[in-house]
Structure 1
Amino acid sequence: MSNTCNTPFPLAACAEMLWQDRPIEWRASRLKEHGFGVGLWNWPAHDINKLEATGASFTIMNGYLAGRLTDDEGAAELLRTARETAQIGKRLGVQRLNLHGTGLGEGGLPVQPVEVVTGAMWLKAEDTLCRIVDLADKEGVVFTLENLNLSVDHPGVPFGRAEDTLALVSRIDHPRLRLNLDLYHAQIGEGNLIELCRRSLPWIGEIQVADVPGRFEPGSGEVNWKGIAKALSDMGYSGPVAMEAWASGDADAALIAFRDAFTL
Structure 2
Amino acid sequence: MTRTASPFVLAASAEMLYLDRPFTERVTRIAERGFQVEIWDWSAKDLDALAATGATFSSMTGYLTGNLTDADGIEALLSSARASLEAAARIDCPRLNLHGTGLDDKGLAVRPVEVVTPGMWLTAADTLRRVAELGEAAGRVFTLENLNLAVDHPGTPFARAADTLSLVRAVDSPYLRMNLDLYHAQIGEGNLVELCRQALAYIGEIQVADVPGRCEPGTGEIHYPAVARALHGLGYTGVIGLEGWARDDSDAALDAFREAFAVPAASGHGTTADSTTTESTRAAVGS
| Higher mean C-alpha displacement, 18-27 vs 175-184 | 18-27
Please give the secondary structure, in 2, of the residue aligned with 1:248. Answer: coil
Please give the secondary structure, in 1, of the residue aligned with 2:59. Answer: strand
Task: Report whether the alignment pairs 1:50 with 2:59.
Answer: no
> Does the Cα contact within 8 Å between 2:48 and 2:90 map onto a contact in 1?
no
Alignment of 1:244-263 (within 5 A): 244-263=243-262
Task: Report whether the alignment pairs 1:89 with 2:83.
Answer: no
| Higher mean C-alpha displacement, 197-206 vs 136-145 | 136-145
Gap regions ≥5 residues in structure 1: none
Q: State the partner residue of 1:36.
A: 35
- Which amino acid in the other structure matches residue 142 of structure 2? F
Runs of 4+ that moved beyond 3 A: none
Please give the TM-score of this superposition, normalised by the length of structure 2: 0.90
Q: Any idea what the Cα deviations from partners look like across 1:193-222, whole Å, max 9, x if unmatched? A: 000000000000000000000000000000
Alignment of 1:133-172 (within 5 A): 133-172=132-171
- Which amino acid in the other structure matches residue 71 of structure 1? D
Q: Which has the larger radius of gyration?
A: 2
Alignment of 1:218-229 (within 5 A): 218-229=217-228
Shift of 1:73: 1.1
Q: Any idea what the Cα deviations from partners look like across 1:149-196, whole Å, max 9, x if unmatched? A: 000000000000000000000111110000000000000000000000
- Which amino acid in the other structure matches residue 115 of structure 2? V
Distance 1:258 1:180 in 2: 18
Please give the secondary structure, in 2, of the residue aligned with 1:130. Answer: helix
State the superposition RMSD in angstroms: 0.8
Q: State the partner residue of 1:188.
A: 187
Please give the secondary structure, in 2, of the residue aligned with 1:31. Answer: helix
Q: Any idea what the Cα deviations from partners look like across 1:18-69, whole Å, max 9, x if unmatched? A: 1112111111111111110000000111111110100101100110000000
Q: Percent identity among equivalent residues? A: 58
Distance 1:168 1:176 in 2: 13
Distance 2:231 2:155 in 1: 30
Please give the secondary structure, in 2, of the residue aligned with 1:117. Answer: coil
Distance 2:126 2:156 in 1: 18
Please give the secondary structure, in 2, of the residue aligned with 1:229. Answer: helix
- Which amino acid in the other structure matches residue 174 of structure 1? S
Please give the secondary structure, in 2, of the residue aligned with 1:106. Answer: coil
Alignment of 1:90-129 (within 5 A): 90-129=89-128
Shift of 1:106: 2.5
Q: State the partner residue of 1:14.
A: 13
Distance 2:259 2:176 in 1: 30
Shift of 1:71: 1.7
Q: State the partner residue of 2:271.
A: none
Distance 2:226 2:244 in 1: 19
Task: Report whether the alignment pairs 1:233 with 2:232.
Answer: yes
